[in-house]
A and B are shown apart, each in its own frame.
Chain A
Amino acid sequence: MDLKALKAQESKRKISKGYMWALFCAIFWGIWYLPGTVVWVLNPFDEMYGVIAGTSGDAVSLVVTAALITAFNALTVMLALMLWNGVLGKFGELGRTLKEFHPCSKWFFLASIFGGPIAILGSFMAMGFIGGAFAAVAALLYPVIGSVLAYYWYGEKISKRAAIGIVVIILGGITIFGGGVITEIAAGDVPWIGYLGGLMAAAGWGIEGAIAGKGLDISEPDVGLTLRFLGENIIWWIIIVPLLAIVGYPMYSFAFQAFEPLTLLVLIFAGITFGFCYVCWYKSFPLIGVGRGQGIGNLYGLCAIIFIFLFFGDVPQWTILLGGALCVAGSFIMFTEEAGELETLRGE
């Protein structure tokens, strides 16, 4: 094979590898909404929600319970990632990267603030108050924020095609949120906190991706990701959960009750799917760029709707289906770029 053909083949392989990682991310991410939805009806979280709702009201109870669920989610993700790094033999690199706080690991800790207490908490709030399909589809807007931030912040190119994809995704987002709100205003009861959760998920993940990119370009994704979840565990278990306990919510008594077989199994399932969706997500960024990695990862919305239908038999509202379809179409517009445009992702 001559040099030119070999070059074309290699470039193709690299780009398809990037898209493959992003697609795996979508599948794992979509599956995650199953344990994420189920965990709400399991004890101790079901009981916790009832107890706190009795004294502080439904809205506060939902957020506090979501905080504990997200904290456990972070813990099981961390366990899955430690196992992953162990298998890859990357503990040494993990230590070396952690020590580089100023140039590198601070970006992962900063990313974890937007990823954890904003995006993942928001997702659990949306799952608890509105439902898994809405939570999944609402967050589909995140690549818009990710691409725009990556463009302004570190000059990542947005091609005309990617821009069209972004516009289609935004139209999808308006359909999802607008459609749901109009139906509920007619019914007289709008679960605003669930919609807020959906917006938190979209904004949080978009910002997280752009920030994490700053540290990722000079570190290994498996390692960077583990540090990002180390950051999230610190936020939940050292700051937020103790703070909520000091304010008077029964965090620890319910946290200890989570160690029962079924609840643990569901939490571990959430940890594995979410952990690996992140591994795949972060691995795709250096190969195809943050905006595109997020674009393909967006197919998780479709995966989530399919998995929720298969396992729970729920058919979402038509506005969620239409909006979701627009978002997926937008992702594909971003996805079907000419390979040549991807060879250099940044201007020189």
Chain B
Amino acid sequence: MGKNRPIKFRILELFLDGKEHWNYEIVSKIQEEYNLRGNFQRDSINFDILELASGGMLKDVEQKVDEEGIYKKDFLLHKYIITDFGKVRGSDACLRYV
């Protein structure tokens, strides 16, 4: 699918492998793929993940404090997994169903 589809579609697609992913892994992958640099874009993509989680498509399964500053020092890092609802919405959006 790649970078010519909306960012949230791509985020869902990355999660459709059914595995758990940390938010910073997804954010940096999207930043790289869509060539979105800077902190503003980073936070904007993280907000997309937050919205997907609030919408019940991703589930927050684990948190840890970012002590080393991988993403944002002293903030929470979240690990998410796709929910059944997320898979349904993902397939609505014509994504590859894993």
Contacts and interface: CB of A to CB of B under 8 A. Distances in A.
Interface of A: 1, 3, 6-7, 10, 14, 88-89, 92-93, 96-97, 100, 102-104, 217-221, 223, 286-287, 344-348
Nearest to B11: A218
Contacts of A346: 55-56, 85
B13 to A, nearest CB: 11
A110 to B, nearest CB: 15
A34 B4 CA distance: 42
A100 B9 contact: yes
Contact of B6 (A3, A102, A219): A219
Contact of A345 (B34, B56, B94): B56
A100 B34 CA distance: 17
A100 B93 contact: yes
B55 A104 contact: no
Determine the interface band of chain B, counting residues with CB < 8 A from chain A. Answer: 20 to 34
Contact of A220 (B7, B12, B65, B89): B7
9 contacts: A1-B74, A3-B76, A14-B54, A217-B89, A218-B9, A286-B54, A286-B55, A287-B51, A346-B56
Nearest to A217: B55
Given A10-B76, A96-B4, A219-B8, A103 B92 contact: yes
Contact of A93 (B7, B74, B84, B85): B7
B63 A93 contact: no
A220 B85 CA distance: 19
Contacts of A88: 44
Interface of B: 4-9, 12, 34, 41, 44, 48, 50-52, 54-57, 59, 63-65, 74-76, 83-85, 89, 92-94
Contacts of A14: 50, 54
Contacts of A102: 94
B6 A220 contact: yes
B26 to A, nearest CB: 15
Nearest to A221: B51
B65 A6 contact: yes
Given A103-B93, A217-B51, A96 B6 contact: yes
Contacts of B75: 6, 10
A97 B10 CA distance: 12
B54 A287 contact: yes
Given A3-B64, A6-B76, A287-B51, A348 B84 contact: yes
A168 B8 CA distance: 37
B65 A3 contact: yes
B27 to A, nearest CB: 15
Contacts of B48: 220
Contacts of B44: 88
B34, B55, B63, B65, most chain A CB atoms within 10 A: B55
Given A100-B93, A102-B94, A220 B56 contact: no
A290 to B, nearest CB: 10
A150 to B, nearest CB: 12
Contacts of B57: 217-218
Contacts of B54: 14, 286-287, 345
